[in-house]
Structure 1
Amino acid sequence: MASSSTCSSPLPAPRMRASARVLLTRLHAACPEIVLVRADNAYSGVEFDA
């Protein structure tokens, strides 16, 4: 069964990408052994600060 989903984030897409870049840069600095991160838009919990 196919479903159509839309992003319900309060941030526009360019802002989400910029935030993800900051988050991943900090993650890499703290844990350089992590070489691959996969993400999707399935998380629907509360917003959080990184």
Structure 2
Amino acid sequence: MFELNSDSALAELIEDTQNENELFALADKVRREMYGDEVYVRGIQDSKRRGRRQKL
């Protein structure tokens, strides 16, 4: 388990998480603009049908 030893470590973790969420949101927006919602949703549905990814 990850332990935080200071308030500054917690603040850094929160900032990193927010930055990560912003990057995923921007990437999602770009994918939808490039490929459209239908292609994006179909890809998700196809991956669910195949089941979980196998570890390499």
Per the normalisation by structure 2, the TM-score is 0.42
Per the normalisation by structure 1, the TM-score is 0.46
Higher helix share: 2
Larger relative contact order (Cα-Cα within 8 Å, sequence gap ≥ 6): 1
Q: Which has the larger radius of gyration?
A: 2
